[in-house]
Amino acid sequence: MLKAVELNQDDELANRAVASLYVTTDRRQLAERYLKAAAAVPRQKLRSTLALADYYITERRYPEAKEVLQPAARDTATETAARVRLAEIEYERAPQNAHVMLDKVLKKVSTAEGWALKSKFLSRDGKFDDASKAARAAIELDPRVALAHFIVGTVEFKRKNYDEAERAFREVLQLNRLTTEAKVELARTKLAEGETNEALALAESAGRSVDARLVVARALIADGQTARARTELRQLESRGTSSAEAALLLGSLDYDDGDLPSARAEAAQALQRAPASVEALLLSARVALAVDDEPAAEQHLQNAITHDTGSFDAHTLLSQIYAARGDLDRARTTLESLAAHAPQSAEARTAVGLILQAAGRDGEARNWYEQALALRPDDAVAANKLARLYASETATADSAVELARLAATRLPGEAEVHDTLGWAYYKAGKAALAGPELERATTLDPDDPQIKQHLNEVRRSLADEDQRKVREASRTRSLQDR
């Protein structure tokens, strides 16, 4: 390739090929010379002026990018694409102005590139539903726009639709654009799915960027390789990274190891770098609770909820603090707030049910468990709790059995679940089936008084039934002898 450029230094394709090779092989700084040469070609076939601007934008060299783009914005052949890029630069300074600039472009000419950038803006604004719509509009116009697929993937990842996210990121890789970013996000997706080995391999192949190495560290932690993870994170810290995530992960490792002073120091460092990080606030709260600093923990959790009104961990941990104080009403309202901000969360509704049941408000708890199961029929905790409530009434005893069976399938090692199933069988008139489940529950938790009580009652019932059968058999023989 270098020989081709040497033979014809003004050849657009040759210069772009060399630049592409350098970018692909993580030698971006060497690409600029060849992009400039390609952009200097008067009648371009590869829109190299825009490629040079893209290079500067990626490098955050915005004045140089604008210098390239402003003449291009006056050329009818590149006007729309150049104005889209100028809006991208403006977003870094004034997001609202950037939206206005981009909307003017899209109103005049609706392009896939423009809608893809719109989706990027909306995603950065936290408007994920609108971002997804804009990205899909871009894909409909041109399915080859990698950025649009990338935004779809990130939105679906946030929604925990991991299959959809994986499909989108693999499409980005197929298009051979944004490959490093797509590999990192695909690795995060596989990690969320529990595919640790594949996540680690993808992150390792994504290069030496901070984001890639952080995912490598997370995958190592998930795989139990904590020593390697520490080494990876220490190397990032030694590179002077400003990322809060490295400090956060080191603090989490220290917390798990019981090194609370180090954990607190790392959590403070993470918060200094990213004061709005919910993960860092949660770690700070957990460390504060571990050292009996409840006021600090409460403050951190309230801050976390301010930054993420749908944070399940922040709400539930805060509600536990209130419940431990005996303030069940405040614990309940905290969880009800979570449910209101997460209308599709079954876990939030189950949590509200648990706190209501602890307060002796079984009727209200029942309603919340039913809501949880309507959203997620395989919620084992809600199924178990609702089965216990249903078992108290003859009319719902059969439904209790079905729910308890589901819970026992999902949580086979939980004594309470087998106790629930055994008691539901008994209340449904199936004492013979109840016995084995209660025996299993007793084996799992031999000290639980309620399980013992249920087992004894079922045994008495079975014994009474046996005696009844003996009496009936005796009566039948007496009648036959007569």
Q: DSSP states of 279-304 as a string?
A: HHHHHHHHHHHHTT-HHHHHHHHHHH
* pTM of the entire predicted model: 0.73
Residue 472 lies in a domain: yes
How many CA atoms lie within 13 Å of 140's alpha carbon, on the beta-carbon side? 8
| Residue-level pLDDT at 240 | 78
Cβ-Cβ contacts under 8 Å for 93 (sequence gap 6 or more): none
- The domain tally of the chain equals 1
Angle between helices 196-205 and 210-222 (to 10 degrees): 160
pLDDT in tens, the chain (482 residues): 999 999 999 999 999 999 999 987 878 899 999 999 999 998 899 999 999 999 999 888 999 999 999 999 999 889 999 999 999 999 999 999 999 999 999 999 999 999 999 999 999 998 999 999 999 999 999 999 999 999 999 999 988 899 999 999 999 999 988 888 999 999 999 999 999 999 999 999 988 888 999 999 999 999 999 999 999 999 988 887 778 999 999 999 999 999 999 999 999 999 999 999 999 999 999 999 999 999 999 999 999 999 999 899 999 999 999 999 999 999 999 999 999 998 888 999 999 999 999 889 999 999 999 999 999 999 999 999 999 999 988 889 999 999 999 999 999 999 999 999 999 999 999 999 999 999 999 999 999 999 999 999 999 988 888 788 777 777 777 777 66
- Identify the sign of the CA torsion 318, 320, 326, 330: positive
**Around Cβ 345, how many Cβ atoms within 10 Å?**
17
Give me the count of residues in the chain. Answer: 482
Q: Which domain holds residue 434?
A: 377-482
First-to-last C-alpha distance (Å) of the chain: 112
Q: Where are the alpha helices (DSSP H) in 142-209?
A: 146-158, 162-175, 179-192, 196-205
Q: How far is residue 66's CA from residue 472's CA, in Å, rounded to a whole number? A: 98
Q: Which of 351, 401, 408 shows the shortest CA–CA distance to 375?
A: 351
Contact between 434 and 426 under an 8 Å Cβ cutoff? The reply is yes
Q: Note whether 98 and 126 are within 8 A (CB).
A: no
Per-residue confidence (pLDDT) for residue 180, from 0 to 100: 86
Residue 439, domain member (yes or no): yes
277 contact partners, CB below 8 Å, separation of at least 6: 244, 248, 270, 271
Query: For residue 332, is it within any domain?
Result: no
| Rounded-to-integer distance, Cα 460 and Cα 473, Å | 20
* Within-domain flag for 444: yes
Buried/exposed 262-298: b ≥16 CB within 10 Å, e otherwise: bbbbbbbbbbebbeebbbbbbbbbbbbbeeebeebbb
The radius of gyration of the chain's CA atoms, rounded to the nearest angstrom, is: 31
Residue 189 in any domain: the answer is no
In a domain, 398, yes or no: yes
In a domain, 172, yes or no: no
CATH label of the domain that carries residue 401: 1.25.40.10
Q: Are 390 and 424 in contact (CB under 8 A)?
A: yes
- pLDDT of the residue at 481: 67
Domain annotation covers residue 432 = yes
From 312, 266, 318, 311, select the one nearest 289 (Cα to Cα). 318
